[in-house]
């Protein structure tokens, strides 16, 4: 796994993740917790879902993927 805040390229299900807005392929990433007050209300807190949020470095569009679904690699230096 690459360091947090490092610029990465990402793959999921064998395909490179491309930005849905600008078509860019480089992202900053961070882990996010998905559980909320609502999920605790329904007893799902123990599930404690985590996701990885990718933010396109060109346009800022964000995409979320389930933890473990992504293959993150350091982006080639420009």
Sign of CA dihedral 25, 28, 31, 37: negative
Which two tokens mark 64? 């979320």
All residues at 6 or more sequence positions from 61 whose CB lies less than 8 Å from its CB, including other chains: 19, 20, 21, 22, 55
In the complex, the smallest distance separating the C-beta of residue 62 from Zn ion, rounded to whole angstroms, is 9
Residue 58 as a binder of Zn ion (CB under 5 A): the answer is yes
| Contacts to Zn ion from residues 24-43, by CB under 5 A | 24
Q: Which is nearer to Zn ion, 61 or 73 (CB)?
A: 61
Among 61, 65, 71, 75, indicate the residue that binds Zn ion (CB under 5 A).
61
Examine residue 9 and tell whether it contacts Zn ion (CB under 5 A). Answer: no
**Residue ranges in contact with Zn ion by CB under 5 A:** 19, 21-22, 24, 56, 58-59, 61
């Amino acid at each position: 796994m690459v360091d947090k805040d490092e610029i990465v390229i990402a793959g999921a299900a064998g395909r490179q993740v491309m930005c849905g807005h600008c078509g860019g392929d480089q992202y900053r990433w961070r882990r996010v917790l998905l559980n909320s007050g609502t999920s605790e209300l329904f007893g799902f807190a123990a599930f404690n879902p985590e996701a990885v949020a990718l933010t396109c470095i060109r346009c800022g569009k964000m995409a979320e993927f389930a933890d473990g679904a992504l293959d993150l690699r350091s982006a080639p230096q420009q």
